Amino acid sequence: MAVFVLTGAALADVTVRQGYEITGVSAGSEEQYQAVGAMRLAALATPAGVGRPPALTEGPATPQITIRYEEGFLDGLPAAKGDDDWECLANAIYHEARGETIRGQFAVAEVILNRTESPNYPTTVCRVVHQGGKKGCQFSFTCDGKSDRVSERTAWERAGKIARLALDGAPRLLTNGAIYFHTVRVRPRWMHRHDRTAAIGSHLFYR
């Protein structure tokens, strides 16, 4: 069984300590991803701004993996895979934020997952991403009429890894609970009705 301790702040890396009772499980492996998902406990939902969430278990012999918001960190992880929600999240990150920094792409993933936990939005990632209505789609790439074909393979692979980490419980410490975002190039009418929580790259975040 895996045991985790998560630390982090809004602009810092996130440290994940792991201890395995079984052998042969390496950092960044598929078993690691599965173990993270199995350990999504209340400590992962610690409100933003808290410097150190409560430890689940901690011991001197547990190795550490640090989630770094860097391309090199993602490139060192194995190829990610998953179910429909993973694919929907990866697609949203890729099409909405592949031009952003890694931190900015994680931030977009946070918004989508925050929406799944809001009573005002659907409860699954795919339904959030593809939600539409009379006022238009929530995410423009889903209904802009353009091809959703992946043309930048490296960006897609990184988006998939971010989606995998986010779904498996990476702490959401970047956007302070945001459920809305827009680029700095536009000024939607709703922006004045919500509190801005973060500015990351070309995106502004609100709740």
Rounded to whole angstroms, how far apart are CA atoms 53 and 128? 28
For the stretch 160-202, pLDDT in tens is: 999 999 999 999 999 999 999 888 887 877 788 898 999 999 9
How far apart CA 151 and CA 30 sit, in angstroms, is 26
Report residue 153: phi and psi, to 5°.
Answer: -60, -45
The yes-or-no verdict on residue 50 having pLDDT over 60 is no
- pLDDT greater than 80 at residue 4: no
**Can you tell me the mean pLDDT for 47-63?**
40
Q: Between these two residues, 128 and 137, which has the higher pLDDT value? A: 128
For position 155, what pLDDT does the model report?
96
What's this model's pTM, rounded to 2 decimal places?
0.70
Q: Beta-carbon neighbour count of residue 101 at 10 Å?
A: 15
- Cα separation, 130 vs 92, in Å, equals 9
What is residue 92's three-state secondary structure?
Answer: helix
The model's confidence at residue 134, banded by pLDDT at 50, 70 and 90, is: low
Under the banding of pLDDT at 50, 70 and 90, the label for residue 120 is: very high
Residue ranges per structural domain of the chain: 3-206
Which phi and psi (to 5°) does residue 38 adopt? -70, -20
Mean pLDDT score of the chain? 74
